[in-house]
């Protein structure tokens, strides 16, 4: 099983959009600190990949990129959180069999034989949930009063707790990964689809060629989405595509065993210097 | 039956509001502080020292320390600061357990915690009651990680700080220095 590395790309979206640059507005963190990754929490991340046991185990190391906007809604929040009140009420309704008991059997069993209470199904909400007045959907977003109201009152206001129609910045999306590491055939990135909530359906992932050691640069192209007003005062969606460089360091240098005082000649620690 | 009665009762009564709820209309700005926690790293090393990365989205106003375990977030009176958490590995569990603020600073901030509706995702909320002291209000974050039975406490403290005062250095008067004419400027 190859090493799995997650690379979280954090972006201050409003600041990056405003300055049309990722410089100073992007930070990268990976979970390879134990393996020698450097620059975590800074814009200049070097991911260390240890391919020492690639000969023993053909499973390649895998990189995963997860772009996040700082101040967007936490990524673990299920998508149902974004439903409007109408949809919530619809979800909280009794299912049809419970409303028409003469037609449908009231007591049913599921596939594994457990009795299912269709009058009060466990997975449905007991009542229509109300929006938490304390809940802040986003940080410095502005409440969009909508086109009609905007034209009448001519004002927008700062976001407040309990606001529902908050304009927020969607999470950034990676469009492409290119650069030296790809030209040299070191990593093979692609976008994959996943039903997992965590990745919101799509994520970029790359397998690493364990035969090329050294330090390689790659470039991520990131799309940032935002809303703005056009000349007529209408709210329109727009995006800007910005790129950022990061590095990976592939080495076989991991003298990690139970005998730290013992050094083996076949385990060398200088692979990082080869490419640098 | 009792359960049905209770749910009917709670449905009839509006949920009690937590005490330090910001009054609608009084919030000037909401700032998010996002903590990225390397849960596996912290559990492996037994400390949050190299496994806690803090970020906020108020760098434009002068916040500093992004990407480190010690963040200084600029906040003003009537601001709200929200702490949220993300685990570096999506399978790992991390929850903000405590935002620890010395009671000496009780007059400056009101703390509250809650969960995003219908989710177990916890957020903490600080309402800034009055302009912050010059040195800021220090606080310490503690997290529940994995199945560890004790919370992990940040090794360094972070701060809520007032906006930096822009001090423009006075331009020294140099009446003797002749103004450069364009030809000299080109020569440079």
DSSP symbols for chain A? -PPEEEEEEEE-HHHHHHHT--TTTEEEEES-GGGT-B-TTBS--EEEEE-GGGTT--PPPEEEEEEEETTSPPTTS-GGGG--HHHHHHHHSPPHHHH-TTTS-SEEE-TTS-EEESSS-TTS-SSPPPPPTT----SS-EE---HHHHHHH---EE--TT-SSB--PPPPEEEEEESHHHHTTSEEEEEEE---TTTTTEEEEEEE-TT--EEEEEEEEEEEEEEEE-TTS-EEEEEEEEEEEEEEEEE-----SS-TT---TTS-S-HHHHH-
Lowest mean pLDDT among A172-186, A254-268, B17-31, B132-146: A254-268
Domain ranges across chain A: 4-71+169-275, 76-134, 137-167
Write down the architecture of domain A4-71+169-275 according to CATH.
Answer: Sandwich (2.60)
Which of 9-28 (B) contact A at CB < 8 A? 11, 15, 17-18, 21-22, 24-25, 27-28
Domain ranges across chain B: 19-157
For the residues B157-169, what does the mean pLDDT come to? Answer: 86
Nearest by CB to residue A161, choosing from B11, B24, B38, is B24
Nearest by CB to residue B89, choosing from A15, A31, A135, is A31
CB contact under 8 A, B41 and A132: no
Nearest by CB to residue B59, choosing from A15, A131, A162, is A15
ipTM: 0.73
Residue A165: predicted pLDDT: 41
Q: B51 — contact with chain A (CB < 8 Å)?
A: yes
Residue A227: predicted pLDDT: 73
Residue B51: predicted pLDDT: 93
* CATH for B19-157, options being 3.40.50.12780, 3.30.470.10, 2.60.120.10, 2.60.40.3910: 2.60.40.3910
A39-94 per-position pLDDT tens digit: 999 999 999 888 877 666 666 788 999 899 887 777 777 666 666 667 767 777 76
Whether the pLDDT of residue A19 is over 50: the answer is: yes
Residues of A in contact with B117 (CB under 8 A): 81, 129, 131-132, 135
Determine what percent of chain A is predicted with pLDDT higher than 70: 51
B92-131 per-position pLDDT tens digit: 899 999 999 999 999 999 988 888 776 778 888 899 999 9
């Amino acid at each position: 099983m190859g090493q799995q590395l997650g690379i979280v790309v954090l972006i201050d979206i409003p600041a990056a959009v405003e300055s049309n640059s990722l410089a100073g507005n992007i930070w990268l963190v990976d979970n390879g600190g134990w393996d020698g990754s450097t620059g975590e929490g800074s814009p200049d991340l070097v991911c260390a990949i240890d391919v020492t046991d690639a000969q023993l185990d053909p499973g390649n190391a895998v990189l995963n990129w997860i772009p996040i906007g700082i101040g967007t809604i936490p990524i673990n929040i299920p998508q149902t959180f974004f439903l409007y009140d109408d949809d919530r009420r619809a979800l909280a309704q009794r299912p049809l069999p419970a409303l028409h008991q003469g037609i449908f059997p009231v007591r049913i069993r599921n596939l594994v034989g457990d009795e299912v209470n269709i009058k009060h199904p466990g997975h449905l909400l007991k009542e229509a949930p109300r929006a938490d007045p304390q809940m802040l959907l986003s940080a410095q977003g502005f409440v969009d009063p909508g086109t009609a109201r905007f034209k009448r009152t001519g004002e927008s206001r700062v976001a407040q707790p309990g606001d529902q129609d908050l304009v927020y910045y969607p999470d950034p999306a990676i469009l492409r990964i290119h650069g030296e590491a790809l030209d040299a055939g070191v990593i093979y990135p692609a976008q994959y689809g996943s039903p997992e909530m965590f990745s919101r359906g799509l994520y970029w992932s790359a397998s690493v060629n364990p035969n090329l050691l050294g330090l390689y640069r790659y470039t991520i192209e990131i799309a940032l989405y935002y809303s703005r007003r056009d000349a007529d005062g209408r709210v329109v969606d727009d995006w800007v595509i910005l790129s950022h460089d990061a590095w990976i360091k592939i080495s076989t240098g991991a003298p990690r065993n139970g005998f730290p005082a013992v050094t083996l000649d076949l385990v060398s620690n200088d692979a990082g210097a080869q490419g640098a | 039956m009792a359960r049905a009665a209770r749910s009917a009762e709670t449905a009839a009564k509006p949920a009690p509001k937590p005490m330090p709820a910001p009054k609608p209309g009084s919030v000037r700005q909401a700032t998010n502080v996002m903590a990225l926690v390397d849960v596996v790293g912290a559990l492996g090393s037994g400390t949050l020292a190299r496994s806690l990365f803090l970020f906020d989205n108020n760098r434009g106003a002068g916040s500093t320390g992004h990407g480190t375990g010690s963040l200084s977030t600029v906040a003003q009176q009537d601001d709200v600061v929200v702490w949220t958490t993300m685990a570096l590995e999506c399978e790992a569990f991390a929850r903000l357990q405590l935002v620890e603020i010395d009671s000496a600073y009780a007059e400056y901030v009101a703390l509250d915690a809650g969960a995003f509706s219908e989710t177990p995702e916890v957020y903490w909320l600080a309402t800034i009651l009055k302009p912050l002291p010059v040195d800021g209000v220090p606080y310490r974050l503690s997290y529940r990680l994995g199945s560890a039975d004790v919370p992990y406490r940040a090794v360094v403290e972070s701060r809520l700080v007032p906006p930096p005062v822009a001090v423009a250095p006075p331009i020294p008067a140099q009446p003797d220095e002749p103004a450069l004419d364009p030809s000299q400027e080109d020569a440079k």
